[in-house]
A and B are shown apart, each in its own frame.
Chain A
Amino acid sequence: MTLQTVGRVTRAEFQPEDGAKDRVGHGLLQDEALIFEEGRFDMTGVDFDETAEDVELGDLEGLLRDAPPALPGLSEPETLRHYVRLSQRNHAIDLALYPLGSCTMKHNPRLNEKMARLPGFADLHPLQPASTVQGALAVMDALAHWLKTLTGMPAVALSPKAGAHGELCGILAIRAAHEARGDARTTILTPTSAHGTNPATAALAGYQVQEIAQTPDGRVDLADLAAKLGPHVAAIMVTNPNTCGLFERDIVEIARLTHEAGAYFYADGANFNAIVGRVRPADLGVDAMHINLHKTFSTPHGGGGPGAGPVVLSEELARFAPLPWVTHGPDGFALVERAEGEAAAALGRLCAFHGQMGMYVRALTYMLSHGADGLRQVAEDAVLNANYIKARLSGVMSAPFGEGPCMHEALFDDTWLEGTGVTTLDFAKAMIDQGFHPMTMYFPLVVRGAMLIEPTETEPRHELDRFCDALLALAAAAKAGDVDRFKGAPYEAPLSRLDETAAARKPRLRWTP
């Protein structure tokens, strides 16, 4: 998920209140220094079984540090306080709705965490003999089965480490397929509404990127696509449901035109959570699609990763899948790690070892918990919740593609704020004072002042109502001309608006004494 942050005003016109700089806390919220300011550099918070101070190091002469790294060591109580205090400065899905569109901030079941910590999964080395990791390989095999069945696709590459890595995997497989036919193609088409990772991935894989125009109702312009397709086009990368929260009605025709031109259809599966159990991407003509396990299948976002981005592949692309993968052999499960035999066409390795096992365990636990029926309900409730928010807010906020239903997220623009002096950014920051995390702002780029709201299926109705009530009250304040409330916001957060321009102009990227 991405946010547009270029060029925005980040310094509020606001006078500090007396004494604000002298505080050491606020209510029960303590200020917290950096560890380098509070810790002692000659201490450690870990006790060891032995000191090993006397170990002979003679043959490492010239290879040794002169002194230990200049980093403080904190005792356990100090460490706990440091991080618990810091944690209290974060918003979290466990605190309240986290309506970041395209990010899918849903509840993270704690059973998933418990299962991932079983020693039989957590304490396994990736290079142990296959005979000692049959259960782990079985989990990978089961996850692959679920992903293939839910998407209707015949193959899956599990190893990509995140969504963007999955995109790279899919595009490299497409590139390998073209090259295997001696067909050198140069270009990838993406809609203007695409996630930034799509064009970045295409460029990383050595392709030029060309944009496909959008129709007035927020979807791929078929005529423009047809005009831009040709023998130079390797693939299209289309997100469906798209980043405006809309299902591409012409998706089957998009796939047909693409295939007719000898190109492949790469689907960005970031929004698979809207259709899981109700639509199989294979039935839409998809050739490759990554699945963000941290979105659809609820592995925790962890403040920015780790994610996991398995890629489902068509029959034609399957033989180019990266190493390794799991097979059934005479002695049970085995890993294919060598590019020979049936793996001779594999596009190589994307990373060391076998991918994000800890995420596989969590995602599979989530799938087993929900089952085929629960996953279908996930998509339905996610779409229902988004449409409910859209219905409740549309009378006041402007929805640019408001005709017809949205999928899992509701998109608004800033037309309704015209003349108020309040921007999307101001409105978003004022939401913090109302107890809510802002929605995704200024993305997708195709509408002005975008506000993209994704509630997910794990929000109860009363929370949706609280959220809508708060937004409607804020909207009323904006329209009533209460501009100060917005320009200086947030007032109630641990910090007020941060000067991002200064941070970029003179980067200070580490602590120095």
Chain B
Amino acid sequence: MRYLPLSEADRSEMLATIGVGSIDELFVDVPAAARLPDLIDLPLQASEAAVERTMSAWAARNRAAGAGPFFLGAGAYRHHVPASVDHLIQRSEFLTSYTPYQPEIAQGTLQVLFEFQTQVSELTGLPVANASMWDGSTACAEAVMMASRVTRRRKAVLSGGLHPHYAASAYTLAHTSGVETRRLAAAVDDEAAVIAAIDSDTACVVVQTPNVFGTVTDVSDIARAAHAAGALLIVVTTEAVSFGLLRSPGDMGADIAVAEGQSIGNGLTFGGPYVGLFACRSELVRQMPGRLCGETVDAHGRRGFVLTLSTREQHIRRDKATSNICTNSGLCALAFSIHMTLLGGTGLTKLARINHARARRLREALATIPGVEALTPRFFNELAIRLPRPADAVVEALAKRDILAGVPFSRLDPDAGLEDVLLVCATETTLAEDIEVLAKALAEEIAR
């Protein structure tokens, strides 16, 4: 076996050093009835070439996003990632290192985390960001729990523009702890409904911008209403590239900002692994979940970085911890940080403008198709359109023509009564000819 360095001679000499006659003697504590005498019924070891053939055959049975016109967003976005990003994250010293518990020999990872935290803080407009969460949806759920701890209240108001998977994930985590999540009806724009739903029991309001329908909202009024009621405002962003163009959550009054960072540095990968961004106001830091990296000095007075404020965490506080989170999403955070370092603020803004320009082109092309109605008034790079028939059937039909047209809203929320709504997205990878192909095919399918 190519990954196992011990020879048979090594094994018998080592057994002799240990003072046992066979490997079985090392498993003597296993109850006799549970010791498997034979191999488990699974295939035997295989060469690298053979495994590569098997896996490649499976990969070939998928239609890659880049293989043709592609318009899916809704929480996961196709962007171009510079070649150097993937090269760097495969450096052994990043790829095969552990959580930086021994800071003297983990300054590489720690400095990256400090830079990552600074980048996330700057993008979200909030002073403190952690070293990443598992993804945007789990970050959102943790934010709801955090707001409940901070306010000592047990109700969260979730906007109907929040990604339904995020709302569902928050519900799963919150309801077992007795925190109620009140999700408003799915709506392209529900600012007024959100404000109306806030009361004196509300721990937090969760609003997404751009929301799942693509709508960009100035959440300042919601922030004022939440704060007047003693509640916190959590702003969710699933498309991190939008930070380059739009006002930051902190600037609009968010107390906590959570985001899916996949768009920057990370591929689609069928939904994971991704990287959750989590930022908040300074005074809330001790209620924050997840790891934090901080600056300090070594015994020579030289600057260095360490994991800090760990008395919030499970390995110290056990059942009193702010969260059970242990691993973060280190390598994905590294990819995010490298891509962000290449882009810089001005590059991110340029990228965001291009995304927006492509989405405008997409909207123009689709909105002129008879029977199609564009629903999203102000959008960044994705929007909702209404079709004259159920969107899932149209998407299936277009997939047969090798066009991945978008996400039927009913796939995310089957109970909203929005079967005719299709979510479409354009990024810098969307070409003008892709848009033409989609518009033509969609018009034909609708006319059929």
B290 → chain A closest CB, angstroms: 10
* Residues in B neighbouring A6, C-beta threshold 8 A: 311, 316
Contact A92 B327 (CB under 8 A): no
Contact A373 B39 (CB under 8 A): yes
* Residues in A neighbouring B135, C-beta threshold 8 A: 161, 351-352
Interface residues of A in 69-124 (CB under 8 A from B): 69-74, 76, 79-80, 82-84, 86-95, 98, 100, 103, 105, 107-109, 111, 113-124
Contact B94 A87 (CB under 8 A): yes
Q: For the complex, is B377 an interface residue (Cβ under 8 Å from A)?
A: yes
* Residues in B neighbouring A432, C-beta threshold 8 A: 102, 104-105
Q: For the complex, is A353 an interface residue (Cβ under 8 Å from B)?
A: yes
Contact B349 A65 (CB under 8 A): yes
> Please, how many angstroms separate the alpha-carbon atoms of A113 and B243 in the complex?
30
Q: For the complex, is B158 an interface residue (Cβ under 8 Å from A)?
A: no
A10 → chain B closest CB, angstroms: 8
Q: For the complex, is B225 an interface residue (Cβ under 8 Å from A)?
A: no
Q: For the complex, is B183 an interface residue (Cβ under 8 Å from A)?
A: no
Given contacts A89-B107, A200-B321, A371-B46, contact A129 B96 (CB under 8 A): no
Kindly supply a per-residue 1/0 record for chain B positions 112-134, scoring 1 wherever the CB is within 8 Å of any chain A CB and 0 otherwise.
10110111011100011101101
* Residues in B neighbouring A82, C-beta threshold 8 A: 341
> Please, how many angstroms separate the alpha-carbon atoms of A407 and B270 in the complex?
36
> Which of B61-69, B184-192, B200-208 forms contacts with chain A?
B61-69
A294 → chain B closest CB, angstroms: 7
Task: State which of A51, A91, A115, A205 has its C-beta within 8 Å of the C-beta of B102.
Answer: A91
Given contacts A103-B98, A352-B135, A358-B272, contact A68 B346 (CB under 8 A): yes
Q: Which residue of A lies closest to B331 (CB)?
A: A302
B interface, how many residues as a size bin?
35 or more
Contact B294 A88 (CB under 8 A): no
Kindly supply a per-residue 1/0 record for chain A positions 194-215, scoring 1 wherever the CB is within 8 Å of any chain B CB and 0 otherwise.
0111011111111001000000
Kindly supply a per-residue 1/0 record for chain B positions 321-351, scoring 1 wherever the CB is within 8 Å of any chain A CB and 0 otherwise.
1011111111110100010111111111111
A319 → chain B closest CB, angstroms: 16
Task: State which of B13, B23, B98, B122 has its C-beta within 8 Å of the C-beta of A69.
Answer: B122
Q: Which residue of B lies closest to A160 (CB)?
A: B134
> Please, how many angstroms separate the alpha-carbon atoms of A309 and B255 in the complex?
31
* Residues in B neighbouring A498, C-beta threshold 8 A: 103-104, 296-298, 304-306
* Residues in B neighbouring A139, C-beta threshold 8 A: 55, 58
> Which of B80-88, B227-235, B433-441 forms contacts with chain A?
B80-88
Task: State which of A68, A305, A508 has its C-beta within 8 Å of the C-beta of B331.
Answer: A305
Contact A20 B300 (CB under 8 A): yes
Kindly supply a per-residue 1/0 record for chain A positions 461-502, scoring 1 wherever the CB is within 8 Å of any chain B CB and 0 otherwise.
100000000000000000000000000101001111111101
B108 → chain A closest CB, angstroms: 4
Select the residue from B75, B317, B357 with max chain A CB neighbours within 10 A.
B357
Given contacts A39-B344, A168-B324, A494-B107, contact A303 B273 (CB under 8 A): no
Contact B6 A48 (CB under 8 A): no
Interface residues of B in 67-99 (CB under 8 A from A): 67, 70, 72, 74-76, 78, 82, 84, 86-99
Q: Which residue of B lies closest to A500 (CB)?
A: B306
Contact B33 A252 (CB under 8 A): yes
> Which of A258-266, A380-388, A411-419 forms contacts with chain B?
A380-388
Task: State which of A35, A60, A249, A370 has its C-beta within 8 Å of the C-beta of B115.
Answer: A35
When A and B form their complex, what is the total count of cross-chain residue pairs whose Cβ atoms lie within 8 Å? 736
Q: For the complex, is B320 an interface residue (Cβ under 8 Å from A)?
A: yes
Given contacts A52-B357, A55-B360, A372-B41, contact A121 B273 (CB under 8 A): no
Given contacts A119-B66, A162-B326, contact A378 B4 (CB under 8 A): yes
> Please, how many angstroms separate the alpha-carbon atoms of A65 and B108 in the complex?
32
> Please, how many angstroms separate the alpha-carbon atoms of A413 and B36 in the complex?
33
* Residues in A neighbouring B88, C-beta threshold 8 A: 79-80, 83-84, 87
Contact A368 B346 (CB under 8 A): no
> Please, how many angstroms separate the alpha-carbon atoms of A50 and B243 in the complex?
19
> Which of A11-19, A224-232, A310-318 forms contacts with chain B?
A11-19
Contact A372 B270 (CB under 8 A): no
Given contacts A163-B327, A368-B55, A380-B23, contact A510 B127 (CB under 8 A): yes
Q: For the complex, is A136 an interface residue (Cβ under 8 Å from B)?
A: yes
Contact B41 A392 (CB under 8 A): no
Q: For the complex, is A423 an interface residue (Cβ under 8 Å from B)?
A: no
> Which of B161-169, B365-373, B382-390 forms contacts with chain A?
B161-169
Given contacts A48-B354, A511-B114, contact A304 B98 (CB under 8 A): yes
> Please, how many angstroms separate the alpha-carbon atoms of A120 and B66 in the complex?
10
Q: Which residue of A lies closest to B145 (CB)?
A: A204
* Residues in B neighbouring A443, C-beta threshold 8 A: 315
* Residues in B neighbouring A167, C-beta threshold 8 A: 324
Q: For the complex, is B197 an interface residue (Cβ under 8 Å from A)?
A: no
* Residues in A neighbouring B345, C-beta threshold 8 A: 41, 67-73
Select the residue from B128, B326, B378 with max chain A CB neighbours within 10 A.
B326
* Residues in A neighbouring B313, C-beta threshold 8 A: 196
Task: State which of B172, B268, B294, B323 has its C-beta within 8 Å of the C-beta of A122.
Answer: B268
Q: For the complex, is A348 an interface residue (Cβ under 8 Å from B)?
A: yes
Contact B1 A278 (CB under 8 A): no
Task: State which of A161, A247, A351 has its C-beta within 8 Å of the C-beta of B29.
Answer: A247
Contact B108 A89 (CB under 8 A): yes
Of the A-B pairs whose beta carbons lie under 8 Å apart in the complex, a sample of 15, sorted by A's number, is A45-B342, A52-B357, A68-B244, A68-B349, A70-B345, A122-B267, A132-B404, A135-B57, A163-B327, A200-B318, A302-B89, A348-B171, A368-B51, A432-B104, A498-B298
Q: Can you add 16 more A-B contacts, CB < 8 Å, to A11-B299, A120-B61?
A: A34-B111, A39-B341, A44-B342, A44-B347, A88-B108, A115-B59, A125-B70, A135-B59, A150-B42, A162-B326, A162-B327, A304-B329, A353-B75, A384-B15, A388-B18, A428-B102
What are the 7 tightest A-B residue pairs by CB atom distance, in nearest-first order? A73-B344, A120-B59, A353-B271, A302-B331, A44-B347, A135-B61, A126-B271
